[in-house]
Structure 1
């Protein structure tokens, strides 16, 4: 049974004529007869009483008419929904993002994106980079924005931009670069760190290892699950932290936080847009990707 057969059946039932039914669906009478005959053979039921002057529905035809109308209405609704989906009039977009991007880039683009596509409902899952990729692999999100690139099969990573990770402390703490660069003194400096799965922590540990250092060279006083939580903790005087420059730019410019340096260490990382290999992105996802690129273009414009 095909949708075309159902369409032809409904047209013939409505017009009580094979020829007029054919005109309604732009088919020759002979083609209409072939469709009806094939449908009757598949169902094993005569659908129309035929005579030389007119045709009428059999009892089986009346029963099938009710079901055919229901099928056609469902198909029509499906077509309408797909048209709305393709036109971004009605869509749900699920995006996973590492905490750094969730509190920096996404809020910046959200207002313009919603204004342009009011029919798109954005569902954001915020997590560390490793768990964000896991959500992508498990088909819980369509796109993933991460602070690191992972060796995962069937995941495509597209680099978005680079940023620096800074060592910061509250302005009222009496740290100095000399103290921070002295191995013995560092053991007494309270440090707040991200969880092991975060892109920030991985970038920090990698850079420290290259310099023969480790996070354990500091006095680790807390492990928190987001950049925002760490920012607040540092502002509250809990200690110093390695944190994204995107997250603390305002606090640095207002001198609420002070940036310190470790000799010979500059920590950089890249942010990536990840999607599943071989999966076509929905229109809403494509529009979101364009919105991200627009925001980054403005950021990078001199």
Structure 2
């Protein structure tokens, strides 16, 4: 016998009618009659006398109702108290950089097992770091070149930058293919200065990093064709030959720990992607970004208790990346 069986018997007892009880519990009269008969047969008792007017409790039925009513009251009180306790439990606030929202499924098991309500806050990476430092967020998932020293964080994977463009712009870069980066670097930057670029809007974290690199390397204003806050649109515009853009590819391994200058002796590569598109890895120009899972320094517990490494981050690198920025 389960809880619903007990409630069914209580309903029949209260209404003194199989027909009326059937309407209340949304079952057929025959289904209720059969269920009660099965209970009576299983426990060897008779709960109801069937009469022309309906049903009446037997002596056994009256005794059963007395204890069943007490048991149901205790169960309902326990459920209500549990709900009240959960409502009082502290809300855990998790900040997530907007492009990383699809990664949340990796954390669901941890937060579900630890109970308590979870509030998701989407924002930019710098804003998440600031709120972690203030203590207005408990945890954060974001991308950054390096982690601020006062935040406890675990690097999950890195994002490498690429130039992404249609084959229309390929002739501008073909002379550099398979040559040493140090030999063609200045010519590549000059070629890039003369081509239309599709960039994130001002104020977006990745745009701030791109602007710093361009100011340092270009020595002047680049040719900006389009600015947009939609990453999918950046890629679509590049595929429609509005210009070149920058995308990132997620690499599920430890950071190389290398600066752009460390790649000067490597080969300049152009990678054909099909569909009339190509990309150029830019480790010699842009530093890799790390994606971190971090905890506010204001929380008493430590990240050691969170098995981030069991969340499934160590997986093969995906195919050609799509823009991931915020």
1:239-263 Cα shifts (integer Å, max 9, x gaps): 211221139xxx9755463102569
1:200 to 186, 195, 206: 206
1:145 to 141, 145, 148: 141
- Does structure 2 retain, via aligned residues, the 8 Å contact 1:129–1:198? no
Paired with 1:263 and 1:151, the residues of 2 have a C-alpha distance of 19
Quote the residue 2:285 is aligned against: 265
Quote the residue 1:233 is aligned against: 237
2:166 to 156, 166, 170: 170
Structure number with the higher helix fraction is 1
- Does structure 2 retain, via aligned residues, the 8 Å contact 1:96–1:144? yes
The alpha-carbon distance between structure 1 residues 106 and 173, as it changes in their structure 2 partners (threshold 3 A), is: farther
The alpha-carbon distance between structure 1 residues 159 and 205, as it changes in their structure 2 partners (threshold 3 A), is: farther
1:3-39 Cα shifts (integer Å, max 9, x gaps): xxxxxxxxxxxxxxxxxxxxxxxxxxxxxxxxxxxxx
User: What are structure 2's unaligned runs of at least 5 residues?
Assistant: 1-77, 177-185, 252-270, 319-326
Paired with 1:193 and 1:184, the residues of 2 have a C-alpha distance of 18
Q: Cα RMSD between the aligned structures? A: 4.8
The alpha-carbon distance between structure 1 residues 197 and 116, as it changes in their structure 2 partners (threshold 3 A), is: same
Quote the residue 1:160 is aligned against: 156
Report deviation, 1:271: 1.7
The alpha-carbon distance between structure 1 residues 279 and 263, as it changes in their structure 2 partners (threshold 3 A), is: closer
1:223 to 227, 233, 238: 227
Indicate yes or no: 2:101 matched with 1:96: no
Report deviation, 1:165: 1.0
Paired with 2:276 and 2:117, the residues of 1 have a C-alpha distance of 36
Q: Secondary structure at the match of 2:101?
A: helix
User: What are structure 1's unaligned runs of at least 5 residues?
Assistant: 1-72, 86-90
Report deviation, 1:186: 3.0
Quote the residue 1:134 is aligned against: 130
Indicate yes or no: 2:296 matched with 1:276: yes
Q: Secondary structure at the match of 2:194?
A: coil
Q: Secondary structure at the match of 1:134?
A: helix
Report deviation, 1:208: 5.6
The alpha-carbon distance between structure 1 residues 116 and 136, as it changes in their structure 2 partners (threshold 3 A), is: closer
For these two proteins, the number of residue pairs brought into alignment is 211
2:246 to 239, 242, 245: 242
